[in-house]
A and B are shown apart, each in its own frame.
Chain A
Amino acid sequence: MNRAVRTGSIAFTLASALTLTACGGSDGAGVAADAEQTLTVWAMGTEGEKLGDVVQEYEKSHSNITVKVTPIGWDVAHQKLVAAAAAGKLPDVVQMGGSYLGEFADMGVLEPVNTGTFKEDDFFPAAWQQGSYDGKTYGVPWYVDTRVLFYRTDLAEKVGIEAAPDTMAGLRSTAEAYQKKAGTKWGLSIQPGGLDTVQSFYQFLYSAGGAVIDDDGKAVVNSAAAVKALENYGSYFEKGLSEKSVRPGYDVTKDFNTGAVPMFFGGPWITNLLDENSPDLKGKWAVAPVPADEASVSMAGGSSLAVSADSDHKAAAKELVSYLTGAKGQADWFERTNDLPANTAAWKTGDLATDPTLQVWRKQMDTARATPSQPRLTEITSKVDTAIESVTQGKSSAKEALDKAQSEIEGLVQ
């Protein structure tokens, strides 16, 4: 038997073998919140590692509850969740990446959120939207991320650029100025192609007033605004302002440190990376809002917390979720991880209220836009990735590429 056939079939085996045992699940009320019990929680990446500390605190004030956190790597998260969902063995509480929620909600494995307990108004609109699917809410926003412009202030001063660009036109002329006058290798780092290129493109797309899927769930990726945005995006590669070559595993902070790249769009975790890996760079860079086109709109990412529909411990699980997403829990979480709180009330205290850098994120979050939850979101965005790549590599015009993507995506939305 050859390896290929085998690889393809292993997943199915797992899926179907597990399904045989999936008949359990409880329909009753399950265990009461104040009963002695163990809650299982799955969280991804860094969040999974840090959550362990938080729940230790939580256990102190809830002596009847033991929380077992399992950290899962982002690279295997999707497969693991699907296998667990198939087996009816999702943990009581599970972290849901924004792009996963639609898929799992569609499978019917997530418990709808009680909107009486968790209120939409407490959270950033885009964060709340990521927890919703088909008019219902399945995930409570936990932390958010969005992209803002990182730029080198020292190099900017050298060439007389006084402030960060605040328009898309300004962004390009700033990129040119950096390259010509400050002698940087590139002007702006944006991803030329490959997996999740779309995340680089969202800043351009949303700011121009475009979208991949509109709020009614219709594919609109070849709208005039989107074409304009992709033309703008492509022009950076055409003019040699951005690197055309696709470099898997590329770490932009290295080139930012050397000055080869003076500007890029990055998420909140980049601040930590820069502080840790390039301490010499401190004070030589700053963040600014996404330069406006029609408006300044960035993408919203982040994760929600969802309760499994099969859980026997729903009552306690909801209490844990409500602690983690409440103002106090969120502020504590920020202290530990620097993940941006999804709950706006948490932004009223400490650094979150005063730090000017953090205010940039906060302001960006107010307008940030989330991609509507769709069961086949991964596949949908991969079509946009392909369209972007064909433009950055000069193989097709923005219009042609997006028309093609549009026709493919139309068959995938629901």
Chain B
Amino acid sequence: MSLTTGPAAPQAAVGKSPDGGREAGRTRRDRRSLGKHNLTGWLFSTPFLVLFGVFMLFPIVATLLMSFTDFGARDVTRPLEAEFVGLDNYTQLFQDDKFLKALFNTGYFVVVGVPATIVLGLLAAILLNNGIDRARTLFRVGFYAPVVTTIVAVAVVWRFVLDPSDGLIASLASEVGLSAPDFLGSETWAMPSLIAMAVWRNLGTVMVLCIAGLQAIPSEVREAARLDGAGAWQELRGITVPLLRPTLLYATVITTIGYLNVFEEPFVMTQGGPSDSTLTVSLDMYREGFNFFHMGYASAMAYVLFVVIMGITVLQLRLLKDNTR
């Protein structure tokens, strides 16, 4: 039996060729077999559709509805009794200093973190693609290892690095007679520390994407450039980056989305502190939703974040897309 769901009826119809009243019979049978094929298609799609409906569509719609209510802990046992509050959650959000701070912090994370991740990821890729011939695999693994390491293990290492009294940086600094700042305990330094950690964790992803992109650039182009006397910088600007443009666009978009959602770093390292200086939107949402059970409010937050992410992604695609091709 054919698996296609479209009007690919002929094969089946041919098999059971009618013996009389051709035109009418055929049409009828075609229609029937079309229906049958559709049914098959639906049957095969059902597991996906059910899962999609239960775990994606329903939550998305439910969250939207919930964001218009004051859904709280006691409503869990009787969800239909949650009070409808219209747009109150949304208007309240934009008067909530904590949320605005979280929004600002998230923006900070993206504005500093994304360029750093992309640039360092690209440099690592170029380095490993051209520069280092020996132990290339080792370096690739080294850069990529943080991506696949669980955040809890990463946190242990970074806490050791950043610890103000006996951490790696503090010890090194005191060797040369300097004093390291209290990275995670200071409002000024906590965010940059988390960004550094995120960049370290994520540049591997960008690197892998870029290496793939670099290897797709024909070597003739490079050779031609070199013959024309281009230096490394000119080659980078004139050849590598332009030809990697689609890759870099993709990397930028996914990194931005990832950083707008940033949750794990502040959750395991600082719990949003000190004084909310590392509170991100996702962390604030988690707290409101799961610590305080302000589900309605947290849902509204989720939708605001969703709209922000959507907006920024569309903007990026518009601005960065190569319109010349």
Q: Which residues of A are at the interface with B, using a C-beta cutoff of 8 A?
A: 1-13, 15-17, 19, 22, 78-79, 82-83, 85-86, 88, 103, 106-109, 185, 192-195, 244-249, 260, 375-376, 378-379, 382, 389-390, 393, 395
Complex contacts, A13 vs chain B, CB 8 Å: 54-55, 58-59, 62
Q: Is B124 close to A, CB under 8 A?
A: no
Q: Which of B55, B60, B76, B270 contacts A5 (CB 8 A)?
A: B60
Say yes or no: A16 contacts B73, CB within 8 Å.
no
CA–CA, A9 to B163, complex, Å?
36
**Given A248-B271, A249-B159, A389-B273, are A9 and B60 also a contact pair (CB < 8 Å)?**
yes
CB within 8 Å of A: which of B280-324?
281-282, 285-286, 289-293, 295, 298-299, 301-303, 305-306, 309-310
Stretch at the interface among B19-27, B34-42, B181-189, B212-220: B181-189
**CB-defined A-B contacts under 8 Å, sample of 8:** A2-B305, A4-B285, A82-B73, A88-B77, A108-B77, A194-B271, A195-B271, A382-B292
A393 vs B305: C-alpha distance when bound (angstroms): 30
Is B93 part of the binding interface, using a Cβ–Cβ cutoff of 8 Å?
A: no
B325 at the interface (CB under 8 A from A): no
Q: Are B270 and A8 in contact, with the CB atoms below 8 A?
A: no
Other CB < 8 Å A-B pairs besides A8-B63, A107-B77, A246-B273, 17 of them?
A: A1-B60, A3-B261, A8-B285, A8-B289, A8-B298, A8-B302, A9-B59, A11-B289, A82-B73, A82-B293, A103-B73, A192-B274, A246-B274, A248-B159, A248-B268, A248-B270, A389-B273
Find chain B residues with CB under 8 A from A2 CB.
257, 261, 305-306, 309-310
B184-A245 in contact (CB<8A): yes
Nearest-neighbour CB distance to chain B for A7, whole angstroms, equals 7
Decide yes or no whether B79 CB sits under 8 A from chain A. Answer: yes
Tell whether, in the assembled complex, residue A393 and residue B275 are in contact, meaning their CB atoms are under 8 Å apart.
yes
B56 at the interface (CB under 8 A from A): yes
Indicate if the CB atoms of A5 and B302 lie closer than 8 Å. yes
Q: Provide the B248-267 mask, 1 if CB < 8 A to any CB of A, else 0.
A: 00000000010011010000
Residues of chain A contacted by B274 (CB below 8 angstroms)? 192-194, 245-246, 389, 393
Per-position 1/0 for B41-62, Cβ under 8 A of A = 0000000000000111011101
* Contact yes or no, B79 A15, CB < 8 A: yes
Q: B269 at the A/B interface (Cβ < 8 Å)?
A: yes
The interface residues of chain A lying within 8 Å CB-to-CB of B73 are 82, 103, 106-107, 375-376
Q: Which residue of A lies closest to B302 (CB)?
A: A8
Interface membership of B66, Cβ < 8 A: yes
Q: How many residues of B sit at the interface, in one of the four size bands?
A: 35 or more
Closest A residue to B304 using CB positions: A4
- Across the interface, which residues of A come within 8 angstroms of B164, CB to CB? 245
Decide if B59 touches A245 in the complex (CB within 8 Å): no
A393 — nearest CB in chain B belongs to which residue?
B275
* Residue B16 at the chain A interface, CB threshold 8 Å: no
Any chain A CB within 8 A of the CB of B74? yes
B interface: dominant SS: helix
Which residues, 61 to 89 on B, are CB-close (under 8 Å) to A? 62-63, 66, 71, 73-74, 76-79
CB distance from B275 to the nearest CB of A (A): 6
Q: How far apart sit A406 and B302, CA to CA, in the bound complex (Å)?
A: 29
**Which 6 residue pairs spanning A and B have beta carbons closest together?**
A245-B185, A9-B59, A8-B302, A9-B63, A86-B76, A379-B292
If A389-B274, A390-B275 touch, whether A4 touches B74 (CB-CB below 8 Å) is no
Binary contact track B184-213/A, C-beta < 8 Å → 1, others 0: 111100000000000000000000000000
How far apart are the CA atoms of A6 and B303 in the complex, in Å? 10
Contact across chains for B59 and A10 when beta carbons are under 8 A apart: yes
Output the least CB separation between B303 and chain A (Å): 7
Chain A residues with CB below 8 A from B261, complex form: 2-4
Q: Is the CB of A106 within 8 A of B77?
A: no
Considering the complex, give the chain B residue whose CB is closest to the CB of A108. Answer: B77
Chain A residues lying within 8 Å of B303, measured Cβ to Cβ, are 5
A19 to B75, CA, bound (A): 11
**Residues of B contacting A192 in the complex (Cβ-Cβ under 8 angstroms):** 185, 274
Q: Are B77 and A378 in contact (CB under 8 A)?
A: no
Complex: A106 Cα to B77 Cα, angstroms: 11
Set of chain A residues within 8 Å of B59, measured between Cβ atoms: 6, 9-10, 12-13
Q: Which one of B60, B182, B290 contacts A79 once the chains associate, using CB atoms below 8 Å?
A: B290
Complex interface: chain B residues within 8 A of A375 (CB): 73-74
- Residues of A contacting B301 in the complex (Cβ-Cβ under 8 angstroms): 8
CB-CB < 8 A to A9: which residues of B?
A: 59-60, 62-63, 66, 299, 302
A12 lies within 8 A of B309 (CB)? no
| A142, B178: Cα distance in complex, Å | 52
Q: Quick one: which of B63, B76, B298, B305 contacts A82, CB cutoff 8 A?
A: B76
Q: Does A4 contact B306, Cβ atoms closer than 8 Å?
A: yes
- Shortest CB-to-CB span from B93 to chain A, Å, is 13
How far is A131 from B165 in the complex, measured between Cα atoms in Å?
42
* Residues of chain A lying within 8 A (CB to CB) of residue B58: 13
Chain B residues with Cβ below 8 Å from A106 are 73-74
Q: Which residue of A lies closest to B267 (CB)?
A: A248
Please name the residue on chain A nearest to B258 by beta carbon.
Answer: A3
Q: Are B76 and A107 in contact (CB under 8 A)?
A: yes
Neighbouring A residues of B290 by C-beta, 8 Å: 11, 78-79
Assembled-state Cα–Cα distance A286/B270 (Å): 32
Is A12 in contact with B77, judged by CB distance below 8 angstroms? Answer: no
CB-CB nearest in chain B for A17:
B54
Q: Bound state CA distance, A15 and B69, in angstroms?
A: 15
Give min CB distance, B251 to chain A, whole Å.
17
Annotate B163-185 by CB proximity to A: 1 below 8 A, 0 otherwise: 11100000000000000001011
Is B275 a contact partner of A395 (Cβ separation < 8 A)?
Answer: yes
Give the interface centre of B54, B282, B293 by most chain A CB atoms within 10 Å.
Answer: B293
Known: A5-B303, A5-B306, A246-B185. A15 touches B271 (CB 8 A): no
Question: Which of B60, B185, B268 lies in contact with A247, CB distance below 8 A?
Answer: B185
Task: Tell me which residues across on chain A come within 8 A of B77, comparing CB atoms.
Answer: 19, 22, 85-86, 88, 107-109
Q: Specify the chain A residue showing the minimal Cβ separation from B186.
A: A245
CB distance from A289 to the nearest CB of B (A): 30
